[in-house]
A and B are shown apart, each in its own frame.
Chain A
Amino acid sequence: MTSKSFLTALSPIEFRHDDPDGTIAAIKTVLLTHEQENSPFRNCPMAHMVRLQVIDQLTPPMGDVSGASLKSRYLLFVADIDGSVDDFLDCLYRVNPEFVRSVWGRCLGYPGYDAAVFFRRYIHRCQFNNPLGYAGFPESVEDILGALRKKHLLAEWIAAHQGLDAASLQQAWQQSRASFIRPDTAKPGSLK
Chain B
Amino acid sequence: MTMTPKHLIGKSNPMTVITPVARWKRLGTWLVLFIFRHLPLGIVKQLAFIHFARWITIKREDLPRLTEDQPKENWPYDLYLFTTNFNGSWDQYIDAFGRIESVSKGLNMLWYTSSGFPGPWPMRLFKRYIHYFEYPQYLYYNAYPGAAVRDIDMALQLERKLDDFVARTEKPVDDREFEVLFNAFFDDVAPNLGQTGREDVPTNLEHRAQPLELSQ
Partner-B contacts on A (CB < 8 A): 6, 8, 10-12, 15, 22, 24-25, 28-29, 31-32, 34-36, 39, 41-42, 47-56, 58-64, 66, 68-72, 74, 76, 78, 80, 107-109, 125-126, 128, 130-137, 139, 141, 143-148, 150-152, 154-155, 158, 166-167, 169-170, 173-174, 177, 180-181, 188-192
On whether the beta carbons of B146 and A192 are closer than 8 Å, the reply is yes
By the criterion of a CB under 8 Å from any partner CB, how many residues of chain B are at the interface?
Answer: 92
B143 within 8 A of A: yes
What is the CA–CA distance of A190 and B50 in the complex, to the nearest angstrom?
A: 20
On whether the beta carbons of A158 and B186 are closer than 8 Å, the reply is yes
Q: A131-B55, A148-B151 are in contact. Are A180 and B166 (CB under 8 A)?
A: yes
Q: Which of A42, A133, A189 contacts B54 (CB 8 A)?
A: A133
What is the CA–CA distance of A62 and B77 in the complex, to the nearest angstrom?
A: 13
A interface secondary structure, majority: mixed
- Tell me how far the C-beta of A177 lies from the nearest C-beta in chain B, rounded to whole angstroms: 6
- Tell me how far the C-beta of B189 lies from the nearest C-beta in chain A, rounded to whole angstroms: 7
On whether the beta carbons of B216 and A128 are closer than 8 Å, the reply is no
Tally of contacts, chain A with chain B, CB under 8 A: 277
**Which B residues lie within 8 Å of A56 (CB)?**
2
What is the CA–CA distance of A105 and B69 in the complex, to the nearest angstrom?
A: 17
The segment from B88-96, B97-105, B129-137 found at the interface with A is B129-137
Q: Which of A34, A48, A62, A151 contacts B51 (CB 8 A)?
A: A48
Q: A47-B141, A60-B77, A189-B141 are in contact. Are A53 and B16 (CB under 8 A)?
A: yes
Interface centre among A25, A132, A154 (most CB of B within 10 A): A132
**Which B residues lie within 8 Å of A133 (CB)?**
52-54
On whether the beta carbons of A147 and B140 are closer than 8 Å, the reply is no
What is the CA–CA distance of A55 and B182 in the complex, to the nearest angstrom?
A: 55
